[in-house]
Structure 1
Amino acid sequence: MSPRTKEQNEAIREIRMNQIMQAAAEVYLEKGIQLEIRDVAVKAELGYGTVYHYYKNKHMLLEDLLWDALDRTESAVLPALTGDGGSLLKVEVFSRLLLRKCIQDPSVFIMLKTVADNFHHFPGNRFIKLSSEFQERIYLPFVELIREGIDPTTPEKTANLIFGSLVGCTALNIHHNIQSEIDAEGIVDMIFSGIQAKER
């Protein structure tokens, strides 16, 4: 049997990393910060040593999970930030895209919830850079759209209300095992009908 090529090794590594990340997100939703590397290994159906080969501790694993989720969040909402239409429409599109991504991708929900909780479950200052990047890449562009299209005086307050509503709706569905699929369109319509009514 001939040895694997560099490309084959890289492909295997990518598959393993995806397995580990998906399992870590699922375990985090079940156990929160109490998750352990062995829990992730069991969920991923990998040996403990295999997961430990990639991550020496759970904080390194969670850090990678959150950075990866930040990149996926930015990709998901980019069409709203760069698309056509007025600022109000862009805010609605951003909210719809973000809620859909939260529903489809548990790690995005975990990242948004962790940011909302100000990383208080995580030790030390290792997440300051992640928080800063979230502000720069996701939060502040959203606030600017709100300032232009909805609320020129307190856009941060409106942004926090929208983010909180999206995270809360996703959390209810995840943690209460609601079997029906989240009506992302209906939720965003409800949020924005309230905002527009307030603006009148």
Structure 2
Amino acid sequence: MSPRTKEQNDAIREMRMDQIMQAAAEVYLEKGIQLEIRDVAVKAELGYGTVYHYYKNKHMLLEDLLWDALNRTESAVMPALTGDSDSLFKAESYSRLLLRECIKDPSVFILLKTVADNFHHFPGNRFIKLFADFQERIYLPFVETIREGIGSKSPEKTANLIFGSLVGCAALNIHHNMRSEMDVEGFVDMIFLGIQSKER
């Protein structure tokens, strides 16, 4: 049997990393910061040594999970920010896409919840760059659509209210296994109707 090529090794590595990340997200939803590499290995149906080969500790694993989630989040919401639609429509589309991605992808939910909690479960300052990137790539573009679309006197406060509502709604659905029942359209409509009536 001939040895694997570099491409084959890279494909296996990528597949293993995805498997570990998915398992880590599921375990984090169950145990929070108490998760251990061993828990992730069991969930991923991999040997402890295999997971440990990729991640020496849970903080390295969670850091990768959150950076990966940031990229996924940006990819998910980017369609809402392009095109010729007015800013209000963009803000509503952005919110729908974000909530759908939160419910579909646990790592995106974990990212938003962790940012909302200001990374208080994580030691040291290792997430300063991640937070700055989140602000630049996810939060500030959304604030701008709020500023232009609703004419809010305090677009940051309005954006925080919307983000908090989306994270709370996603948490209820994820933790109560109601993902398939979630009325994303109706929930986002309700948020924006409430905000617009308050801003008038």
Percent sequence identity is 85
Deviation, 1:84, is: 2.0
Deviation, 1:152, is: 3.7
Deviation, 1:174, is: 1.5
Contact 2:92 2:192 in 1 (8 A): yes
Distance (Å, rounded) in 1 between the aligned partners of 2:125 and 2:36: 21
Q: Which amino acid aligns with 1:116?
A: A
Q: Which amino acid aligns with 1:120?
A: H
- Could you say which residue in structure 2 is the equivalent of 1:37? 37
Q: Does 1:178 align with 2:183?
A: no
Distance (Å, rounded) in 2 between the aligned partners of 1:175 and 1:4: 42
TM-score relative to the length of structure 2: 0.97
Contact 2:152 2:199 in 1 (8 A): no
Deviation, 1:193, is: 1.2
Which segments of structure 1 move beyond 6 Å, counting only runs of 4 or more? none
Equivalent positions of 1:162-177 (< 5 A) are 162-177=162-177
Equivalent positions of 1:27-176 (< 5 A) are 27-176=27-176
Contact 1:151 1:158 in 2 (8 A): no
Q: Which amino acid aligns with 1:176?
A: H
TM-aligned CA distance change 1:191 to 1:45, over 3 Å: same
Deviation, 1:180, is: 5.1
TM-aligned CA distance change 1:180 to 1:74, over 3 Å: closer
Distance (Å, rounded) in 2 between the aligned partners of 1:196 and 1:61: 41
Deviation, 1:83, is: 2.2
Matched residue SS, 1:153? coil
- Could you say which residue in structure 1 is the equivalent of 2:17? 17
Q: Deviations over 1:26-80 (max 9, x none)?
A: 0000000000000000000000000000000000000000000000000111111
* Contiguous gaps of at least 5 residues in structure 2: none
Matched residue SS, 2:181? coil
TM-aligned CA distance change 1:51 to 1:133, over 3 Å: same
TM-score relative to the length of structure 1: 0.97
Q: Which amino acid aligns with 1:154?
A: S
Distance (Å, rounded) in 2 between the aligned partners of 1:172 and 1:119: 20
* Contiguous gaps of at least 5 residues in structure 1: none
TM-aligned CA distance change 1:73 to 1:180, over 3 Å: closer
Contact 1:69 1:111 in 2 (8 A): yes
Distance (Å, rounded) in 2 between the aligned partners of 1:147 and 1:7: 47
Distance (Å, rounded) in 2 between the aligned partners of 1:166 and 1:120: 20
